[in-house]
Structure 1
Amino acid sequence: MHSPLRTPRVSRRQMLQSGALCGGLLAMGDLGMLSQLKPVSAAEAKLDPNVVRLDSSIEPLVRLIEETPREQLMEAVAARIKQGTSYREVLAALLLVGVKNIEPRPSVGHKFHAVLVVNSAHLASISSPDEHRWLPIFWALDHYKSAAQRDVEERGDWTMSAIDDSQVMPHAKAKAQYVEAMENWDEAKADIAAASLARTGGANEIYRLLFKYGSRDYRSIGHKAIYVANSYRTLSCIGWQHAEPVLRSLTYALLMHEGSNPSQRDDEADRPFRRNEEIAAKLRDDWTTGKLDSDATQAMIETLRSGSNDDACDQAVQLINSGIHPQSIWDAMHVVAGEMVMQQPAIVPLHSVTTTNALRYAYETCGDDATRKLLLLQNAAFLPMFRSGMGGRGRVKDVTVGKLSEVEPAKSPQSVDDIFAELGSDPMAAAQMTLAYLQGQENHSAKAKQLIDAARVLVFRKGDNAHDYKFSSAILEDYYHVSPAWRDTYLASNIFLLRDSQRKDNQLVSRIQSALA
């Protein structure tokens, strides 16, 4: 039986065929030509609670992206921007064209990264100088066209179907049906309820449910939690009037599973959540108070390195109940995720970092105390599961973050240029140089900012896949979420999966230059 979200569409198949600290890296080089587009101010790119919501005129822009061949899309969108199309309108169209046309099946990943990466591109954009803010968005537009072609080839040109307005329910009934449908993994009922909630409810109330269900199971190695966090963040910028197709797509993604109904069996992917619902109740009433303690963080790190997911959750509860602040637990989880990247700079540990970023965002954003407890414990449970996934791929190095400070780096970095030049040939040396550079006696905050800015520029220039944007946006954001005692170690460990300066530039810059000629 077809999902209520599936409708084949043949016509699109035919269309798709057709400063001193930083040295030279931050000079931007040939990225300056982006100033030929209408600059995006920081105020425009960031959320304004009083902004007028976008209206139905967004549909023509979505259609333009759908119908324009990939090799002509840069020129077409650049022309619209020159005519006055705003950043928010392009961002909204980029998200909506993805949720409408790309199915989050068989996995909430792969080609669906065209949707997952939208918020990461947005984060990169708002962290850039005004004249450079279009580059991540143009990259994401091009990536969508590639993913849409894959959807045609793999899923028969899926597109989201229209909702039957006669089935839309009042808010209270919709919320009750949504919870029941999600608990029972009922796609049809959940779809109608999601559309109803989008029309009758508010973002905070609805996303409290979505934060919970996004963390419920380990299927798709964290992409469900990532989609929840990223969709909330993008909707906060583009406006809630665009929520209905996003919530329907998101709900469909969260219900992804293999085989029979997960509520009627005992899958490994579901066990931590069922157990954590019970042990979360054991956390002390004032669990969000307590003291920061590096010894407690180190104890949690050791458990995450070698214990089971049950061990990790039990340790978190024990430490918090002994008077430790949850931040000490989050510090350990961020550090261990980064350590995994050192041990195996590949796809599984990359997602341990981006999933931790998503769950941390949900934890900080969700206003429901019970859900926040679950989010922390689910992250603790997922990290040993990521570690197990790494083992299944082999070649896990026997190295810990402690090695970064054990010896002086062979080369003493004078600027971030030295670090990113070394990264391509010797990532461990580059990581050690990073830690030494950041822990110098002078200008620590300035050095950190220059390194972060240089890393982002290199993604713009050298990045060639969605993970470059997802990963870099996650670690550069979470650097400031980790306590000062651990944050330099966190950033140094994650440099293994950033882009080095010796790598060949991608072709996007020259394509945009051509579009602007």
Structure 2
Amino acid sequence: MDRGFPRRDFLRSASVAGAALGGWERLGLAAGAEEARVRPDLVRLRPEIEPVVRWIEETPRDGVFEKAVAELKGGLSYRLLLGGLFLAGVRNIQPRPVGFKFHAVMVINSAHYLGQSAPVSDRLLPLFWALDNFKNSQAKDVAEGDWSLGPVDEARVPKPHQAKEAFVRAMEAWDVDGADVSVAGLCRAAGAAEAMEPLWRMAVRDQRDIGHKAIFAAQSWRTLQAIGWEHAEPVLRCLAYAMLDHGNDKPVPVGPYEENLRNASKIGPDWQAGKPDPAATIALLEALREASPEEASAKVVEMLGQGIAPGSIWDAALLFAGELMMRNSGIIAVHATTAANALHFIYGASGDETTRKLALLQAVGWQPLYRERVKSPTPVKIDAITEETAASTGPEAVERIFDAVGRDRARAAAETIAYLTRGGSPLAVFDTASKMIFRKATDSHDYKYGAAIWEESLNVSDPRWHPRLAAAAMYYLPGARKPDSPLMIRAREAVSGVLG
């Protein structure tokens, strides 16, 4: 693997984007022989995407918006722009450690997710922001050694019937070279769902890098559903390489994985047949305020054995992540939510029962790890937020919430609960939050957290918790009083040139 990597990390959404943006689903670029020529030390991408990736890679940062506008006007589809941007990051940005500049890759699906619910006039803004973010990360990568994803060592790729077993064996042994060639073989030999199963298992294994391995796995799958599974091989190679990072530590998982493997075997066959129980959610939420990772995970086994529905357990993990945001709205609290969101997605995407149990156990067991790193002199409780009096449930109430975000986040949270519990529109809050991100975001976490918290708050198992999760988001989201980002002002001007 070291020979290939360093030179010195379902289609519905795409069809919605294409329908909303007119004829953008036309594949407006064809690769000529010269355009498709790739340096021998770089992985070769598919011919329809290679020229898109090349201009994203080669265009200077200060001219990339103008180049994108010209390509879109020339017939480039939304899906090819999305795919080109994602694959440019996969090919050019070092995925170790999994985070930092590699957010240029991990943020792509979050930007896409938020953009799909936006008005047509705003739908391209997240991708233009991500273009600039990629160019920034690309420059950092060059300065730090100019990593790139190299070609596969074809002579070592296992036979199709041996690829899955070889990949599992390599990943369990933290064997980078073996994992690279075997994941390439697995991708070629198996369908999408089958190929992802061993990757899901490895994604839930290790909390190292504050949960980014699970986040990268979920974001990879979700982005591939938008751009096409045919682009999967370089993505899964990059993902496997990232998941085997252990820094200067011993190659063992961080967190309660080994204990949770044992816990998973204790969970009975009818574990998904339990009944929702909001009291159990509160009990687990209370336990998470003091429990160790192992104690929290054992509590999950106990609750499932008592006939508690998994959804009630998920609600507790997500509520506690929101509570950590209320305690200290920093990077650790952001990842308490985004990692829980990734594990929740893996829980729904995997077809393997043990992996699904592990995703649930790890989602709960990781929260104490985040808790111990969130420093807060005055702990608060998400289930004890006092409602403010809501004057109305109209648009002016939502405007008042986001104005309060810029002055008093606790008040904004209380007003959010009052608005939603009195029948206010969750989508109105979501749309306004997205608009704030589109205009004021300055960091990948604005997109990652915004997408994760709204997905979970809108799809929470028990609707009574939706206002609480939405309220927690007010401790991090940009408010109306924050100045618009100069970059996003430029992006809006560029997008108007495409749509005008």
Task: Give TM-score scaled by structure 2 length.
Answer: 0.89
* TM alignment of 1:238-253, pairs within 5 A: 238-253=227-242
Counterpart Cα distance in 1 of 2:492 and 2:277: 51
Aligned equivalent of 1:134, options 124, 128, 135: 124
**Aligned residue number for residue 248 of structure 2:** 259
Distance 1:310 1:367, change over 3 A: same
**Aligned residue number for residue 468 of structure 1:** 446
Whether 1:291 and 2:275 are equivalent positions in the alignment is: yes
Whether 1:308 and 2:292 are equivalent positions in the alignment is: yes
Q: Deviations along 1:197-233, whole A, 9 cap, x unmatched? A: 1222221112111111111011000100000000000
Counterpart Cα distance in 2 of 1:90 and 1:362: 26
Shift of 1:55: 5.3
- Do the aligned residues in 2 keep the contact of 1:46 with 1:237 (CA within 8 Å)? no
Aligned equivalent of 1:57, options 48, 53, 63: 48
**Aligned residue number for residue 14 of structure 2:** none
Shift of 1:261: 4.6
- Do the aligned residues in 2 keep the contact of 1:458 with 1:499 (CA within 8 Å)? yes
Whether 1:99 and 2:80 are equivalent positions in the alignment is: no
- Do the aligned residues in 1 keep the contact of 2:154 with 2:181 (CA within 8 Å)? no
Q: Deviations along 1:424-459, whole A, 9 cap, x unmatched? A: 11100110011011111x4x4xx2110110000100
Counterpart Cα distance in 2 of 1:260 and 1:415: 50
Aligned equivalent of 2:318, options 326, 334, 339: 334
**Aligned residue number for residue 213 of structure 1:** 202
Shift of 1:196: 1.3
**Aligned residue number for residue 486 of structure 2:** 507
Counterpart Cα distance in 1 of 2:491 and 2:407: 30
Q: Deviations along 1:139-187, whole A, 9 cap, x unmatched? A: 1011000011111122x11111111222222222111111011000000
Counterpart Cα distance in 2 of 1:163 and 1:233: 24
Task: Give TM-score scaled by structure 1 length.
Answer: 0.86
**Aligned residue number for residue 437 of structure 1:** 419
> Which sits farther off after the overlay, 308-317 or 124-133?
124-133
- Do the aligned residues in 1 keep the contact of 2:323 with 2:381 (CA within 8 Å)? yes
Whether 1:108 and 2:98 are equivalent positions in the alignment is: yes
Counterpart Cα distance in 2 of 1:498 and 1:164: 45
Say which SS state the counterpart of residue 206 (structure 1) adopts.
helix
Counterpart Cα distance in 2 of 1:5 and 1:44: 39
Counterpart Cα distance in 2 of 1:330 and 1:78: 42
Counterpart Cα distance in 2 of 1:185 and 1:409: 55
Counterpart Cα distance in 2 of 1:98 and 1:289: 42
**Aligned residue number for residue 37 of structure 2:** none
Counterpart Cα distance in 2 of 1:41 and 1:333: 37
Distance 1:222 1:261, change over 3 A: same
* TM alignment of 1:469-484, pairs within 5 A: 469-482=447-460, 483-484=462-463
Counterpart Cα distance in 2 of 1:501 and 1:276: 43
**Aligned residue number for residue 336 of structure 2:** 352
Counterpart Cα distance in 2 of 1:170 and 1:488: 52
- Do the aligned residues in 2 keep the contact of 1:229 with 1:358 (CA within 8 Å)? yes
Equivalent residue letter for 1:421: D
Whether 1:318 and 2:302 are equivalent positions in the alignment is: yes
Whether 1:415 and 2:397 are equivalent positions in the alignment is: yes
What RMSD, in angstroms, separates the aligned Cα atoms of the two structures? Answer: 2.2
Unmatched segments (≥5 aa) in structure 1: 9-38, 48-53
Aligned equivalent of 1:67, options 34, 46, 58: 58
**Aligned residue number for residue 225 of structure 1:** 214
**Aligned residue number for residue 51 of structure 1:** none
Say which SS state the counterpart of residue 459 (structure 2) adopts.
coil
- Do the aligned residues in 1 keep the contact of 2:4 with 2:153 (CA within 8 Å)? no
Counterpart Cα distance in 1 of 2:333 and 2:418: 24
Say which SS state the counterpart of residue 306 (structure 1) adopts.
coil
Unmatched segments (≥5 aa) in structure 2: 9-16, 26-44
Whether 1:402 and 2:383 are equivalent positions in the alignment is: yes
Number of residue pairs the alignment of both structures matches: 467
Whether 1:498 and 2:480 are equivalent positions in the alignment is: no
Distance 1:294 1:43, change over 3 A: farther
Shift of 1:237: 1.2
Distance 1:378 1:457, change over 3 A: same
Distance 1:396 1:341, change over 3 A: farther
Whether 1:152 and 2:136 are equivalent positions in the alignment is: no
> Which sits farther off after the overlay, 351-360 or 487-496?
487-496
| Identical counterparts, % of pairs | 41
> Which sits farther off after the overlay, 193-202 or 285-294?
193-202
Counterpart Cα distance in 2 of 1:209 and 1:45: 38
Say which SS state the counterpart of residue 159 (structure 1) adopts.
coil
Counterpart Cα distance in 2 of 1:368 and 1:318: 21
Q: Deviations along 1:228-264, whole A, 9 cap, x unmatched? A: 000000111111111111011100100010236525x
Aligned equivalent of 1:278, options 262, 275, 293: 262
